[in-house]
Structure 1
């Protein structure tokens, strides 16, 4: 009887090889900059009385009015306050959006597009989870989101972030096959990494933060706005210093039902003002522009 080999290599995704950050080619961002900074502005819509969603308070039964209404505050009030802040500081954003918002509040997505922000596909709704879909269902979801955004905004999205970072074994392959050029799902690096796909096209993994991200910080770790703003500033200051050695990407993930609350917005303003004061040393950008730059350098 064959015995299992307890020290065999572990299962691997096969999407990219290991390469320490000190072992890579050097390059610059546009204008000779070394640190690229982007805002990942998550706009989400949730089904009433069913499905998934972040929780402020206990959820006993559906309809869960408390948590549904708290999340909806982000679309009605918080997002507009955040856009005012981005405008005041002259900051672009990558708007990571559920397509259900085109049915619910299209004027919010139109306002983001009017600012010149990049629209990034984020599933149809954050009330559902992508990773459990059959392959044909998942491909249909990716195609729907791309087509709906193209119809509404005039330009198809080049990037994708799954609701709840849900992936199947085939998600990177399906993204490349449906026309996407980058994913934000993987948080394994501070530089873009090229992922292998089965059709040979490949896909950029653009760094997306799971630490400098208001949901895990505020909902999971129970920190609040002052500590989260301090985290943004500390991350920025350290990465700016590190970028003297390698070009780096710093993302900041924001959800307006969290950071659009007035007392949290005040601390977000402090953190983003600190970053904006260093704009001459930075590339303030979007994930799609980072993808374009990497294509120009390496493809």
Structure 2
């Protein structure tokens, strides 16, 4: 397969690059020499048969349209909302992603964010480091055990979060596009009703046009001044301007966010709030999980070019 040209528009995990380089003819578009080659020799662009992207940058219509012989877009991540899947479908281009292997990692982080927010672990750390502990004990915090956890999106990650929360004796409820007949958890027919009936609202749903800003002011008001929001889904699920207002005005008790609307840009007012925990989109960011994701990308490409069924087809 060394003669098959594969393009990476952005750098990702070094292991993935190494594996692609050893199996295919890899072009790194962020390399100046590669960019010059593409600009001066249309035959190179015409040779590209596969593109490997991450779920943050994706592949828009413009990128897809540059490569007339593109056959497959392999996403190094589970989310494909940044990939123009409609254009891919129109052109007969296959799309794959890396579900399942990052489920546990994302669910672990969601629980970690809950604990960090309720027990104010980040603030406690700074309290000790700054020497303030010598002048008095830290203020009381809030327990996690026994709380009601509402989950928006009871898919792979949502179910994994629920399983972990049960170990803390939490009551679980959820909202999703449809009722899950096999689920023992209570279903709420709207996000507002879900927020009204939980202490902790966890966003773990995939992003679509319908779910953009699904966490709006009404939902935040329903969650209330003692409720907290945890987002391990996508940044665009949350109306960030409304979130800032709700936190500053005390209409929402707190928020822990791993994803943002315009990453890596984060609303400046959040930086000064102690009832907020912020992480840089690290839901799958462990060596073990990123390696497993890379292996799936490679396996999908090899399967496709050998004429075998794709391991994790999205389209």
TM-score normalized by the length of structure 1: 0.31
Higher relative contact order (CA 8 A, sep 6+): 1
